Amino acid sequence: MPNASMGSRHHAAPLFDSLKQFVERDQAPFYSPGHKGGRTLDPWFRAHLADVDLNNLPDTDTLHCPEGPIAEAEELIADAWGVGKSFILVQGSTSGNIAVALSALRPGEPVLVARNAHKSVLAGLVQVGARPVWLEPRWDDAFGVAHGLDAHVVERAFDETAAKALWVLHPTYYGTTGDVEALADLCRRYDAKLLVDGAHSPHFAFHPDLPTPGERAGAAATVQSVHKILSGLSQAAVLHVDPAQLDPATVRRGLQLIQTTSPHFAIMASIDLARRQMAEHGRELLEEALDRARRTAARLAAIPGLTVLGPEHLAGAGTGLHQLDETKLLVGTRGLALPARDVVARLNAVHGVQPELAGTGHVLCITTIGNTEADVDRLVDGFAEVARYAGTRPAGVDGAMVADVLALRPTTVLTPREAYFADAEPVRLTDAAGRVAAEAVTPYPPGIPLVMPGERLDADVLGLLTALRDRGNPISASDPTMEYVTVVR
């Protein structure tokens, strides 16, 4: 029975109502998913989404052991992306990254991992018990973001460890990449597997002006979110593997552990349709998207107070800033006398323009094949008005304590798995000296964990955390105020 005191509230549907209100505002969409409110979906499919919400029936096949249309769809995916074997994922790239960990890593085995890895990579490490060797990505003071790994950082780590795998983010959230071919060469030299979290890269294989696809550069496994950029529904993703490096049966067994036995057939069908769209029209559609994004970048960069990350900012071969997905618009806002979060709030409230996110000194706008000229006109006009409203200021770099965060390297005591399953307790930050973190603690900027689960909270770490807290830097942790931190008992 419903709680009597809540009875009068049950006429409401707060989540549905918020979604309905958002949709009816008719905003210009610069966020994921890539279909932008269904614009690029097959018309019949869009009209029959509820009808195709089916179960594992003889006519529909079974995701965990496909023999019919799902198996055929996976074969077509592998052919379209030019890989040996592909798997459909219905729980996003998160499930793919965990499956990669289960398939490619072993308990206690060292693995080189970019420290700006997605939290699903950490989840995979927790499940397997591999021992991460964390590597610092290339930091960009001008835009306040982390890019990929410099090749010399990876080579030094291979020389110093017995790691048999390198796990990279390709591209970053912001569309930048390291030199994946150079990293693949290093992996071959050191007899290691290249594992690629390519959540934002499903379109790379379909246009030559986009960065080198990880799945075609020698990766043993590449995970991609079809929904982020292409015409997939949310949670639509794929996992590509090289059967010569990673046994497909082992991968399937890992996926059976973590994927639902009741997959949403609309999600799977959207992957099938996105693959068909790219295979038949991808180059043409992406050519239009790139042209639109490039013109928009130039218009935004002409607005006083704004900068836009472009090819001219690339740092060259072997660096963590080697290539750029120009469909991503990373707009630097340090030249405006208004915090980036307030820039986004005004774009949304006044102009009906919704970017993907705001960070310290930047705004990220994701453009895809689903955006229109009307969308980008609203984006440019909105930014122009916000810039006039805010006014400008000298765009000097506010390094704050970012360099200290990047330079500090806490001592690893436990693997993430050991830390996760250990008894834990919250203690005051002032009493945490010498304790081992049971959680990741991530200051913004730089958005890279200062402390990972299993690392020791020594005097240098605590001093920097205290200084960051006292300066008002946002910190992602179980207690964002940093009065308490969760540690191993």
Task: Select from 248, 275, 302 the last residue of a domain.
Answer: 275
Q: How many CB atoms lie within 10 A of CB 181?
A: 17
CATH code for position 311: 3.90.1150.10
Q: What is the CATH number of the domain that holds 144?
A: 3.40.640.10
Domain span at residue 373? 281-390
- Whether the CB-CB separation of 271 and 240 falls below 8 Å is answered with no
Whether 41 is in a domain gets the answer no
Residues facing 332 on adjacent strands: 307, 362
Same domain, 256 and 138: yes
> Given CA atoms 166, 198, 340, 385 in this order, what sign does their dihedral have?
positive
Q: Residue 306 to residues 38, 217, 347, 423: CA-CA distances in angstroms?
A: 31, 35, 14, 48
Q: What is the pLDDT of residue 4?
A: 67
Question: How far apart are the C-alpha atoms of 290 and 207, rounded to whole Å?
Answer: 10
The answer to whether residue 201 sits within a structural domain is yes
| Distance from the Cα of residue 186 to its chain's centroid | 24
Q: What is the DSSP string of 180-225?
A: HHHHHHHHHHTT-EEEEE-TT-TTGGG-TTSPPPGGGTT-SEEEEE
- Beta strand 442-443 with 475-476 is antiparallel
Spatial distance between the Cα atoms of 345 and 341, rounded to a whole number of angstroms: 6
End-to-end CA distance of the chain: 41
Distance CA 195, CA 104 (A): 8
What residue has token string 């996976």?
A: 74
pLDDT at 447: 85
Q: Write the DSSP assignment of 237-288 as a string of letters.
A: EEEEE-TTTS-HHHHHHHHHHHS-SS--HHHHHHHHHHHHHHHHHHHHHHHH
Q: What one-letter code names the amino acid at 437?
A: A
Please check whether residue 114 lies inside any domain of the structure: yes
Indicate whether 355 and 445 sit together in one domain: no
Closest CA to 295 of 385, 213, 372: 372
At 293 the pLDDT is 98
Let me know if residue 38 belongs to a domain.
no
The reported pLDDT for the residue numbered 400 is 59
Number of domains in the chain: 3
- The reply to whether 250 and 286 lie within a common domain is no
CA distance to 6, 95, 132, 137, 256, per residue, from 101 (Å): 44, 10, 11, 21, 14
DSSP assignment letter at 412: B
- 259 — alpha (psi -120 to 50), left (phi > 0) or beta? beta
Please give the pLDDT value at position 472: 85
Angle between helices 340-351 and 373-390 (to 10 degrees): 120
Dihedral sign computed on CA atoms, order 309, 180, 155, 412:
positive
190 within domain boundaries: yes
**Would you state the structure tokens that stand for residue 303, as one six-digit string?**
């607005």
Instruction: Please identify, among 275, 307, 342, the residue that sits at the C-terminal boundary of a domain.
Output: 275
DSSP, collapsed to helix, strand or coil, labels residue 222 as: strand
- The CATH number given to whatever domain includes residue 480 is 3.90.100.10
Q: Note whether 81 and 143 are same-domain residues.
A: yes
Whether residues 87 and 204 share a domain: the answer is yes
Peptide bond just before 480 cis, omega within 30 deg: no
Same domain as 328, residue 406: no
| Per-residue CA distances from 464 to 270, 473, 489 (Å) | 46, 11, 23
Q: Are strands 85-89 and 237-241 parallel, antiparallel or unpaired?
A: antiparallel
Co-location of 378 and 250 in the same domain: no
pLDDT per residue as tens, the chain (489 positions)? 567 677 678 889 999 999 999 999 889 999 999 999 999 999 999 999 999 999 988 899 999 999 999 999 999 999 999 999 999 999 999 999 999 999 999 999 999 999 999 999 999 999 999 999 999 999 999 999 999 999 999 999 999 999 999 999 999 999 999 999 999 999 999 999 999 999 999 999 999 999 999 999 999 999 999 999 999 999 999 999 999 999 999 999 999 999 999 999 999 999 999 999 999 999 999 999 999 999 999 999 999 999 999 999 999 999 999 999 999 999 999 999 999 999 999 999 999 999 999 998 999 999 999 999 999 999 999 999 999 999 999 866 555 568 788 888 899 999 999 999 999 999 999 999 999 999 999 998 888 899 999 999 999 999 999 999 998 888 999 999 999 999 999
Q: DSSP letter for 143, please.
A: T
Within a domain: 129:
yes
Neighbouring residues of 269: CB distance < 8 A, sequence distance ≥ 6:
45, 52
Same domain membership, residue 222 and residue 157: yes
Residue 372 has a pLDDT of 98
CA distances from 479 to 408, 414, 432, 439 (A): 21, 22, 14, 11
The 3-state DSSP class for residue 166 equals strand
> Which two tokens mark 175?
């569309």
Q: How big is the chain, counted in residues?
A: 489
At which of 236, 253, 275 does a domain end? 275
The closest alpha carbon to 182, from 174, 173, 170, belongs to 170
Say yes or no: 196 and 269 in one domain.
yes
Distance of CA 323 to the CA centre of its chain: 17
Say if residue 312 is in the same domain as residue 261.
no
Is residue 445 one of the residues assigned to a domain? yes
Instruction: Specify if 464 maps to a domain.
Output: yes
* Contact (Cβ atoms closer than 8 angstroms) between residue 128 and residue 102: yes
Identify whether residues 428 and 334 lie together within a single domain: no
Do residues 354 and 478 both lie within one domain? no
Distance CA 60, CA 140 (A): 48
